[in-house]
């Protein structure tokens, strides 16, 4: 994945780029809004990370300008402001996702991957090994057998299936399935995943869901 990182704090920018590189992505770092717009004119990127506070212009302004020029580049907005209103504003301006600083690099990378995927394809049916997920009828079959799932269990599985092979963080589950942007103290996500696991296991061989310690879960495509 080619990622443009727009971040004025040099150390943060380097850490993000190093983190992306360590996970096999190419990262380009720019520090200003105008440099970001110029870089997007020249190069081809798969996704961008945009800091809200830039020295020359507000990140939201850069985002609006980019969308005005017709770019459909998936953009993840970074901010130190975590309030409900700021998040809504960020998404209104044309951001695809919103991440509050400080964040875990795994969280950032997982979200970028999901963004890239979400834009790239939107199939009606996903087949992973013996697992068959129909996103329209919301039916799941494993090895040809129907697996009855609760609506939220289906959403959890569908989110992982759309990003098969990539980790989905707990935060991503909470935001995309329950639209919540805070951390409940209890293990809401883990409990749902454990139920989903139980149901998938009882209708097939092995556990297709892998736990990634401290980050979240991943659906494996050959397990």
Partner 1 sequence: MALLGAAIYIAAHASFVSLQDEDLAKQTATLKKEYAEGGRPDLLAAIVKHARSPANSFRYGLYVDGRAIASDIDAPAQPPGVRDFVYRDARGARDDARGVTTRLPDGSLLLVAVDSGGLERLDAVIITLFSLALGVILMLGLVGAILLGRHLARRLDRISATAEAIAGGDLSHRLDVPSGSLDEFDRVGASLNAMLDRITGLLEELRQVSNDLAHDLRTPLARLRSEIESGLTAPSDAPSLRATLERAQAQSDSLLSLFGAILSLAEVSAGGRQFDFVEIELGALAREVCEMHAPAIEDSGRSLHVSMSQEALTIRCEPALIRQAISNLLDNALIHTPAGTTIRLVVQPAEHQARIIVEDDGPGIPEEDMQRVLKRFVRLDRSRLTPGHGLGLSFVGSVAALHAGSLELESARPGLRAIVLVSRAADASARSNRSWPPVIPASASPLPFARPS
For the CB of residue 182, give the shortest distance to partner 1 in the complex, in Å.
5
For the CB of residue 136, give the shortest distance to partner 1 in the complex, in Å.
11
Residue 128: both structure tokens together: 């992973």
Quick one: 106 or 129, whose CB is closer to partner 1?
A: 106
For the CB of residue 177, give the shortest distance to partner 1 in the complex, in Å.
8
For the CB of residue 214, give the shortest distance to partner 1 in the complex, in Å.
7
Taking the C-alpha atoms of residue 156 and residue 48, their distance in angstroms, rounded to an integer, is 26
Taking the C-alpha atoms of residue 28 and residue 46, their distance in angstroms, rounded to an integer, is 11
Using left for φ > 0, alpha for ψ between -120 and 50, and beta otherwise, residue 133 falls in beta
Quick one: 37 or 188, whose CB is closer to partner 1?
A: 188
Question: Where along the sequence are the contacts to partner 1 (CB under 8 A)?
Answer: 82-85, 88, 100, 102, 138, 150-152, 178-188, 190-192, 194-195, 214
Quick one: 194 or 202, whose CB is closer to partner 1?
A: 194
The answer to whether the beta carbons of residues 183 and 134 sit under 8 Å apart is no
Taking the chain, what is the end-to-end CA distance rounded to the nearest angstrom? 25
Q: Please state the separation of Cα 207 from the chain's center in Å.
A: 23
Quick one: 45 or 173, whose CB is closer to partner 1?
A: 173
For the CB of residue 196, give the shortest distance to partner 1 in the complex, in Å.
10
Quick one: 38 or 91, whose CB is closer to partner 1?
A: 91
CA dist 109 → 17, 104, 116, 205, 206 (Å): 10, 9, 11, 30, 28
- Spatial CB neighbours of 125, under 8 Å, sequence gap ≥ 6: 132, 133, 134, 135, 136
DSSP-derived letter for residue 122 is: -
For the CB of residue 155, give the shortest distance to partner 1 in the complex, in Å.
9
Quick one: 41 or 183, whose CB is closer to partner 1?
A: 183
């Amino acid at each position: 994945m080619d990622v443009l990182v727009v971040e004025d704090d040099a150390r943060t920018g380097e850490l993000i780029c190093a983190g992306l590189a360590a996970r096999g992505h190419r990262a380009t770092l720019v520090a200003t809004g105008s440099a970001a717009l110029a870089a997007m004119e020249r190069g081809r990127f798969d996704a961008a990370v945009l800091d809200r506070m830039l020295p020359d212009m507000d990140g939201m302004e850069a985002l609006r300008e980019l969308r005005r020029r017709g770019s459909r580049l998936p953009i993840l907005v970074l901010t130190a402001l975590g309030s409900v209103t700021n998040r809504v504003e960020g998404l209104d301006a044309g951001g695809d996702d919103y991440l509050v600083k400080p964040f875990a690099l795994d969280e950032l990378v997982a979200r970028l991957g999901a963004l890239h995927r979400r834009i790239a394809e939107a199939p009606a049916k996903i087949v992973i090994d013996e697992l068959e997920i129909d996103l329209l009828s919301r039916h799941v079959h494993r090895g040809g057998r129907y697996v009855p799932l609760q609506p939220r269990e289906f959403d959890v599985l569908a989110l992982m299936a759309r990003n098969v092979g990539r980790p989905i963080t707990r935060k991503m589950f909470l935001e995309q399935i329950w639209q919540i942007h805070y951390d409940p103290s209890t293990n809401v996500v883990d409990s749902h995943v454990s139920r989903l696991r139980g149901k998938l296991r009882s209708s097939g061989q092995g556990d297709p869901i892998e736990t990634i310690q401290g980050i979240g879960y991943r659906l494996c495509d050959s397990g």
